Chains A and B, each alone.
Chain A
Amino acid sequence: MIQQQGKKVGLPLMNLVRLNRTPILKQLHLEEKLLRKSSTNWCIINDGTDTPAIVMGISGKPSELLEIGSVLRDQVPVIKRFTGGGTVVVDKGTVFVTLICNKDDVPGVQPYPRSIMSWSGLLYNQVFKGIADFQLRENDYVFGNRKFGGNAQSITKNRWIHHTSFLWDYAEGNMAFLKQPARAPEYRMERGHTEFICRMNEYLPRTDFIEKTTEAVETYFSVKNVNLEATEEPCGAEFVPSTRLLSKQELEEALGPQPEIIGVSV
């Protein structure tokens, strides 16, 4: 069988993996492995995750970022990922887009946070051209002054990853798991979560977003659709990711001692 490669001459190869409702922990483990162990460029698009989860950046502290009591009560998984950045609540309404690149395959982009972030802004500018007032604003993707996409990165000696969680839709109740972060962009202006973020589904169809994103990636790379099994090939020996699920005990310790309720007998 002849496989249609659709290669564009001169552009570096990018393997595109499409996932659907893959658990976010599994996605992050995959990404971390591909960043560290593969030498190929990868684009991963995961159309939603199976169950709601909270995902913190590498330096996130639950006591500072989460309403731990509510998180424990509702048994929401809390994940600490290998990239920097802030805390997000993700669910089936989140669309994840990840780019893992060899630094030399993206000429003109230095392997430093601001350069990569700036380049990503150009890429998504193509996606949202003519649709909405899209901007990369203090490292967030916004329509106007409302955030709809959170970014994070990890940079190794020769490769980098830039991944985004896009708020296609979200349950407002889930935002109650997050505290107002101490470190926030200036444009947030102390707004609460529901006033600060917006839903992408108010701007364009989900399939259009994914299609346009793929087209934008194709302006920089020769994109080849591959299945999940292809991610196993280049990596070989077992890889132990640093991304992990926080234990109930860790969350309880972060919550700290709770006041004892003394009943009054009548």
Chain B
Amino acid sequence: MALRMWASSTANALRISCASKTPAFALSRCFSSGTQLISFPLPIIIFCKLMVLDGLKYASSHEWVKHEGSVATVGITDHAQDHLGEVVFVELPETGASVKQGGGFGVVESVKATSDVNSPISGEVIEVNSKLTQTPGLVNSSPYEEGWLIKVKPSSPSDLESLMDPQAYTKFCEEENAAH
């Protein structure tokens, strides 16, 4: 934990993308993904980790879903926010709108680009994160917590079966990064 906090602050000082802030309870259950080892001439080693949380399911388009009873919360992953850059605008659907698995439901704007956000599951939007209107950067700083995008009443629980678990998503990200 201490090494991670030191690495995080050092990485920030050197402006290297690093894991977003996550609550203490999640840290103990994190899987690190896409770990890069950067060696310097001096005896300093920086670990650059992107967070993949246990308990969530993941889409190949880099959204996550947390299913709790009759509500599923959706957001974009730490991998996605890191690659997108500083998010300056988020456009979300109205409550009551229908979302379809794999279909777009909104956009985020970063670095002069709009990027589609796709829903990992089908259902009805029951809540949107209104904080993102004033503070879109929550998507970067807290992609799995305060930066959630929408809450959905799932229409097809079997949608979750086609999504990746944390280990599979971790491997997916590593393969995607390696391909480029």
Contact = CB atoms under 8 A, between A and B. Distances in A.
Interface of A: 57-59, 82-86, 108-110, 112-117, 139, 151-157, 183
B113 A59 contact: no
Interface string B94-109: 0000000010100101
A113 B110 contact: yes
A84 B91 contact: no
Given A58-B91, A108-B180, A157 B112 contact: no
Interface stretch (B33-41, B80-88, B146-154, B156-164): B80-88
Given A57-B112, A58-B89, A157 B61 contact: yes
Given A58-B89, A58-B91, A58-B107, A112 B84 contact: yes
Contacts of B180: 108-110, 115
A58 B114 contact: yes
A154 B113 CA distance: 5
A139 B112 contact: yes
B83 to A, nearest CB: 4
B112 A113 contact: yes
Contacts, number: 73
B116 A153 contact: no
Given A154-B114, A156-B104, A113 B61 contact: no
A81 B113 CA distance: 11
Contact of B88 (A108, A154, A183): A183
Contacts of B118: 157
B114 A139 contact: no
B137 to A, nearest CB: 13
B113 A113 contact: yes
A117 to B, nearest CB: 7
Contacts of A86: 112
B88 A113 contact: no
Contacts of A114: 83, 85, 111
Contacts of B113: 83-85, 113, 116-117, 152-155
B114 A83 contact: yes
B155 interface: no
A181 to B, nearest CB: 12
B115 interface: yes
Which 5 residue pairs across A and B have the least CB separation, nearest first?
A59-B89, A85-B112, A153-B113, A113-B111, A113-B113
Contacts of B102: 157
Given A58-B114, A84-B112, 19 more contacts: A83-B114, A84-B110, A84-B114, A85-B113, A108-B180, A109-B180, A110-B83, A113-B110, A113-B111, A113-B113, A117-B113, A153-B112, A153-B113, A154-B114, A154-B115, A155-B116, A156-B104, A156-B116, A183-B88
